[in-house]
Amino acid sequence: MAVDAETLKALPTGPGCYLFRDSDGSEIYVGKAKNIRKRVSSYFHRGRGHPTRTLRLVQEAVSVNTIETDSEVEALLLENRLIKELQPRYNVNLKDGKEYPLLAISRDPFPKVFITRNSSLRNVDLIGPFASATQLRRAYHFLMRVFQFRTCDLDIQEHDPQRRYFTPCLNYHIKRCSAPCTLRINQEQYNDDIKALRAFLAGRNKRQVVDTLRQRMAAAASDMRYEDAARYRDQLQAIDRLQERGRLRDWQGGPAPVIAGDEGARKLAQALGLEHSPRIIEGFDIAHYMGTHVVAAMVQFVDGIPNKDGYRRFRVHGEAGDDNPGNNDFAAMREVVARRYARLRDEGRDFPDILLIDGGLGQVHMAVEALRTEQVHLPCVVGLAKREETMVLPSGDEIRLSRRNPGLKLLQYVRDEAHRFSRRYLHLLQGKQLRPERGRKRKQSP
């Protein structure tokens, strides 16, 4: 009995793994997909020019089983475990003698997590191999955001007095590492995070990992260890975002322009008259389609580098009685700026050094008005007018810099990233609205 059309139609359309079995009931191939039905069906489409090995697989497969996951990231990890456990004969990619990438966790007091192709490393635990280095690296970026492990080569010991004076690297500031090189986290707490990472990689129920993190967050809050509680909260939020933003390619940012971050910050401080070079820049952009689906996006840069965990998106509610908030970009900007910084104020979190508005003097005035209403003071608010690429200050003064100026290039990078992020959110909402309508039209067809 071969895999028939009815079986294919019944397959799920979400991410997960699929297993082909032969007439003896043995697993002969394991694969992963972001859309199981679409991927499995592609094997049985004629005229695709499949290689001989794939044609043999299709001829031998009599059944297919599926395991759904919440995201493609989890599907990648599950695929690796299933191949290692079942050893399907058609999964030659991981059995042809090549040195495929592995995820390594060292056995140090503060374990380091890294990617390697050396399967003979000592004093490490290896997970893998993985068929695709690119996909593993994208999953690795996600894992860094959740479990905040170190990737450096430092020799870190619990009672080393130098930890008291050590300055953490950029990964700490963009929430990729909990900085065990300092006293911000002790050995027991750090290894709790590594245990949670191991549980996630081992395929334990994600709910179990989430419940454990929630228990730790509650215990930390009860003991008034608020920084620890905030770290667990950030881990939980990152796991929640995995289901929302679970495609592997979403964990790979686009190519960044060539900008010297330190030089750009220095030039900005000089041009704007700031006492210190700015470390954190947050930029806002408004997007809508003919006044509908009004959204805003905020991006965050730390030391000239995009901090994807700091990105936020907003649905614009509009003022009471305003049926079409998209007709007023100024009011939309005032609303989202107020929401953002009122929340930071209430949570006692740090404010940015520069607030960048995509627009001219009118949008800048709306941002300043929102900050004044919420009684929030920021060191610098500046707009960037697209046509002339001119910096606009709340006073109405304009600053023109050379197009080659690193400070201007940095602001342009922030502005363009905010615009890209807001357009992406707008397209997402439009797609969600159109899908049900298309479905209804199909049902009405004869």
Same domain, 229 and 276: no
Is there a single domain that holds both residue 286 and residue 328?
yes
Average pLDDT of the chain is: 82
Give me the pLDDT at residue 370, please.
Answer: 94
Residues 117 and 89 in one domain: no
Please indicate, yes or no, whether residues 78 and 113 belong to a single structural domain of this protein.
no
Query: Which among 69, 94, 119 is the end of a domain?
Result: 94
Residue type, 162: Q
What's the number of domains the chain is made of? 3
CATH of the domain at 399: 3.30.420.340
Local confidence band at 426 (pLDDT 50, 70, 90 cut-offs): confident
Put simply, whether the predicted model's pTM sits higher than 0.75 gets the answer no
Say what the pLDDT of residue 439 is. Answer: 45
* Same domain membership, residue 178 and residue 278: no
One domain, residues 219 and 298: no
| 269 and 402 assigned to the same domain | yes
Give a yes or no: residue 444 inside a domain: no
Higher pLDDT, 241 or 444: 241
Condensed to tens digits (0 to 9), the pLDDT of residues 299-344 reads 999 888 888 878 898 888 876 445 554 457 788 899 999 999 999 9
Residue 39 in any domain: the answer is: yes
Mean pLDDT is lowest, of 146-150, 249-253, 439-443, for 439-443
Pairing of β 102-106 and β 113-116? antiparallel
> Residue 326: which domain range?
261-432
Q: Is residue 440 part of a domain?
A: no
Residue with tokens 């059309």: 5
Residues 131 and 228 in one domain: yes
C-beta of residue 78 within 8 angstroms of C-beta of residue 31: no
Percent of the chain surpassing pLDDT 90: 23
Is 242 among the domain residues? Answer: yes
Of 311, 292, 281, give the one whose Cα is nearest residue 382. 281
- Same domain? For 176 and 242 the reply is yes
Query: Is residue 262's pLDDT more than 80?
Result: no
Task: Indicate whether 223 belongs to any domain.
Answer: yes
Helix, strand, coil % (nearest 5) of the chain? Answer: 45, 15, 35
Residue 445 domain-assigned (yes or no): no
Does residue 355 sit in the same domain as residue 206? no
Return the H-helix or E-strand segment holding 99.
Answer: none
The verdict on residue 402 lying in a domain is: yes
Does the structure show a pLDDT above 80 at 348?
yes
What Å distances lie between residue 393 and 233, 286, 306, 361, 369, CA to CA?
36, 19, 24, 7, 13
pLDDT tens digit string along 84-108?
Answer: 888 888 886 655 555 778 889 999 9
Q: Which of 47, 63, 94 is the last residue of a domain?
A: 94
Please determine, for residue 201, whether its predicted confidence score (pLDDT) is greater than 70. Answer: yes
Tokens of 226: 């608020």
pLDDT in tens, 248-258: 665 554 444 44
Residue 66 and residue 132 share a domain: no
Query: Which amino acid type is present at position 21?
Result: R
Name the domain boundary from 61, 94, 127: 94
Tens digits of residue pLDDT in 368-419: 999 999 999 999 999 998 777 899 999 999 999 988 888 898 999 899 888 8
Do 276 and 338 belong to one domain? yes
Is 84 inside any structural domain? yes
Highest mean pLDDT among 140-149, 289-298, 361-370: 361-370
Report whether pLDDT(241) > 50: yes
Q: What is the pLDDT of residue 343?
A: 92
